[in-house]
């Protein structure tokens, strides 16, 4: 054994390189087939609304959270319930009301007593502890209760009494809300809106679709669904989506699009400077990229194209671009601004 001189620092062992991530257990072709099967099965219950179904499935496969907005009666809750029936995983429903408290969502700590009379604290999990959570009419609850979802939606954890509880993957919050103009609604804070991967507008069905809805829902045999995927398979599909490559010039296009949403940026188009108060956050770019990867896989490609980012722009950015009073006075909505941005930002 060699003695080192006093004061000579000992050599520290070189840390081992982290292990390489395991290859995805789902092939691109299986990803596409299984995602299309999920969409087809949901379409057995939901009439039309192909874009709504597609964007909801994209959000699920991205590991994000979706916010569905539309007037009552447009099958928002039915869509979520049907998706839960098609995917074999834990599901819970939370009906948001003005008197709902945060503990009603995340759970609470109780004092329990065993057979010997010993008392101890015990955590009773709330309905947030599920793979798929329906937050029904989320903007009917107060901002204090709405904020109870913030940690779960971003960090996939819940903190109660200084104890951090990890949520099981996959975890997916699908919230519905009524338009803010309706009675008894509270606007979601910007910090919570930014945690939604997509904001999906639910449109009114056409006359032909109304006829089909009546035929399916007023007969003696309601449509039935079958299980298409498990929670473990959804997790594998999420892992595969992140391995899709994206070219540097396509990535730069997404960055220019996000920059164009900020009125103070010199690259911002005139419509942004006139109507936008502040633009999308880096989460908006993350949503664009990840959604583009999934849309490429659904189209049978293993690379992201400009068209994929453009298809994801409206649901990914409409809730992240906050408009000013001039836009509200002139009836300009976020979709109008985003379409103007898409026209002004060039592909290079």
pLDDT above 80 for 96: yes
CB of 34 closer than 8 Å to CB of 227: no
Range from 47-61, 81-95, 174-188, 300-314 carrying the lowest mean pLDDT: 174-188
Mean pLDDT of 282-311: 94
Please give the biggest Cα pair distance in the chain. Answer: 90
Verdict on whether the full-model pTM lies above 0.75:
yes
Residue 113 is predicted with a pLDDT of 74
Instruction: Work out the pLDDT band at 74, boundaries 50, 70, 90.
Output: confident
Q: Each residue of 169-224: pLDDT tens digit?
A: 888 899 988 776 566 677 888 888 899 999 998 888 888 888 888 888 777 777 77
Mean pLDDT of 3-32: 66
Q: Which residue has the higher pLDDT, 74 or 312?
A: 312
pLDDT above 50 for 1: no
Residue 6 is predicted with a pLDDT of 55
> What value, to the nearest 5°, has the Cα angle with vertex 299 and ends 297 and 303?
50
Range from 34-43, 71-80, 293-302, 316-325 carrying the lowest mean pLDDT: 71-80
Mean pLDDT of 221-229: 81
Q: Each residue of 111-165: pLDDT tens digit?
A: 777 777 777 777 788 889 988 888 888 888 888 888 888 888 888 888 887 888 8
Q: Which class is 24-101+127-241 in CATH? A: alpha beta
3-state per-residue secondary structure call for 13-68: CCCCCCCCCCCCCCCHHHHHHHHHHHHHHHHCCCCCCHHHHHHHHHHHHHCCCEEE
pLDDT above 80 for 348: no
Instruction: Round to whole Å and give the CA distance between 152 and 150.
Output: 6
Q: Is 59 exposed, middle or buried (0-12, 13-18, 19+ CB in 10 A)?
A: buried
> What value, to the nearest 5°, has the Cα angle with vertex 220 and ends 215 and 80?
65
Q: Each residue of 234-265: pLDDT tens digit?
A: 999 999 999 999 999 999 999 999 999 999 99
Q: Which residue has the higher pLDDT, 6 or 30?
A: 30
Instruction: Round to whole Å and give the CA distance between 79 and 320.
Output: 24
Question: Structural domain boundaries of the chain?
Answer: 24-101+127-241, 244-348
Handedness of CA 136, 138, 142, 146 (dihedral sign): positive
Hey, what are 202's tokens? 């639910």
Residue 108 is predicted with a pLDDT of 83
- Best CA proximity match to 63, nearest among 172, 191, 152: 172
H or E element, residue 121: strand 119-125
pLDDT above 70 for 10: no
Residue 122 is predicted with a pLDDT of 78
Specify the CATH architecture of the domain 244-348.
Orthogonal Bundle (1.10)
Residue 261 is predicted with a pLDDT of 94
Mean pLDDT of 83-97: 87
Residue 224 is predicted with a pLDDT of 78
Q: Each residue of 263-278: pLDDT tens digit?
A: 999 889 999 999 999 8
Hey, what are 57's tokens? 């499935």
Instruction: Work out the pLDDT band at 326, boundaries 50, 70, 90.
Output: very high
Q: Each residue of 42-65: pLDDT tens digit?
A: 888 888 788 889 999 999 999 999
């Amino acid at each position: 054994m060699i003695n080192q001189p006093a004061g000579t620092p000992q050599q520290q062992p070189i840390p081992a390189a982290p292990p390489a991530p395991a290859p995805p257990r789902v092939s691109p072709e299986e990803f596409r087939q299984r995602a299309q099967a999920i969409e087809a099965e949901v379409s057995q219950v939901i009439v039309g609304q192909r874009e709504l179904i597609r964007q909801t499935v994209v959000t699920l496969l991205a590991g994000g959270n979706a916010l569905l907005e539309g007037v009552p009666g447009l099958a928002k809750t039915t869509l979520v319930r049907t998706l839960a029936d098609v995917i074999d995983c834990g599901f819970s429903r939370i009906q948001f009301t003005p008197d709902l408290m945060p503990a009603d969502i995340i759970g609470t700590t109780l004092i329990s007593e065993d057979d010997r009379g010993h008392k101890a604290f015990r955590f009773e999990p709330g309905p947030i502890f599920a793979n798929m959570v329906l937050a029904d009419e989320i903007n009917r609850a107060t901002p204090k209760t709405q904020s109870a979802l913030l940690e779960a939606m971003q960090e996939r954890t819940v903190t109660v009494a200084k104890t951090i509880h990890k949520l099981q993957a996959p975890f997916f919050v699908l919230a519905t809300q009524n338009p803010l103009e309706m009675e008894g609604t509270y606007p979601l804070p910007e910090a919570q809106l930014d945690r939604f991967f997509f904001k999906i507008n639910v449109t009114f069905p056409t006359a032909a679709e109304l006829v089909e809805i009546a035929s399916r829902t007023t007969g003696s045999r309601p449509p039935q669904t079958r299980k298409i995927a498990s929670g473990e398979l959804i997790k594998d599909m999420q892992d595969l989506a992140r391995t899709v490559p994206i070219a540097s010039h396509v990535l730069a296009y997404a960055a220019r699009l996000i920059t164009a949403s900020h009125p103070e940026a010199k690259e911002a188009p005139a419509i942004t400077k006139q109507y936008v108060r502040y633009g999308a956050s880096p989460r908006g770019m993350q949503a664009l990229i990840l959604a583009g990867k999934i849309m490429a896989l659904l189209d049978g490609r293993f690379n992201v194209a400009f068209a994929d980012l453009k298809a994801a722009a409206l649901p990914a950015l409409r809730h992240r671009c906050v408009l000013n009073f001039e836009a509200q006075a002139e009836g300009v909505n976020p979709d109008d601004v985003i379409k103007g941005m898409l026209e002004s930002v060039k592909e290079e």
